[in-house]
Amino acid sequence: MNKTTEALGRLERAVARLEKVATRLADGDKTRHGALATMKADYAALVATTETVAVRLDAAIGRLDRALEG
């Protein structure tokens, strides 16, 4: 029975290590997904800002063209 008890102890320790690694991997996935969501939100904000700047620049250029022609 001694060998069986030792084997069972080793198995329990191995399973505990596997569970610990699985938990770390799952936490890492959550972190990566959170970071990706943050980057996507930042990108969307930058796109909106870029569109606003483009519209304002077009309007300013149009006003300058009219002023120079006028």
pLDDT in tens, 7-23: 888 999 999 998 988 88
**Greater confidence, 24 or 62?**
62
Say whether pTM exceeds 0.85: no
pLDDT in tens, 25-51: 888 888 888 899 999 999 999 999 999
Residue 65 has which token pair? 């063209």
Which amino acid is residue 57, in one-letter code?
L
Question: Largest Cα–Cα distance in the chain?
Answer: 103
Please name which of 51, 28, 32, 29 lies closest in space to residue 40, comparing C-alpha atoms: 32
- With tokens 């930058």, the residue in question is 46
